[in-house]
Amino acid sequence: MAEANTPENNDAQAPEDQAREQTGQRQVRLRVNQSDMETSYANAFRANATAEELMIDFGINFPIGGGEGQNDAEIAFQVTNRIVLNLYSAKRLALTLGQIVRRHEQEFGELQLDVSKRRQGAG
């Protein structure tokens, strides 16, 4: 009969505890305060970097002119928010976003970035 992992019998550790112990990590509780949070929508972004930081501008793309038969189409980018991250946080964000997109595509199918191909699929 297997013994339970109780305070009296704590020889068996959970795999997470063993991994934490081996890597020297300690458990930290994160408290999230959302009282001053604002929500914004963005359908576009641009990014710039220095040796120490990444700046990402978020905003809305919308067409100007260039209606049917016009060749002078233009897109305006209205920047609404700028986020500045150190490059360590930027890398963690990139990894997290990659994982989220992979899970979404596994469940719902590939996200097609080519607009013309999305239109073909809808028709």
pLDDT in tens, 113-123: 988 888 776 65
pLDDT digits (tens, 9 = 90+) for 40-91: 999 999 999 999 999 999 999 998 876 666 667 899 999 999 999 999 999 9
What does the angle CA 71 – CA 76 – CA 79 come to, to the nearest 5 degrees? 165
Could you tell me where the DSSP H helices lie in 46-114? 87-108
Backbone dihedral angles phi then psi of residue 26, each to the nearest 5 degrees:
-125, 155
| pLDDT at residue 26, as a whole number | 87
Quick one: pLDDT at residue 20?
A: 58
pLDDT score, position 14: 58
- Strand-strand pairing, 44-49 and 74-86: unpaired
Q: Write down the pTM of the prediction.
A: 0.66
pLDDT band at 6 (very low <50, low <70, confident <90, very high): very low
Asked if 75 and 61 touch (Cβ cutoff 8 Å), the reply is yes
Give the list of residues 6+ apart from residue 63 with CB closer than 8 angstroms, or none: 73, 74, 75, 76
Contact 44, 58 (CB under 8 A): yes
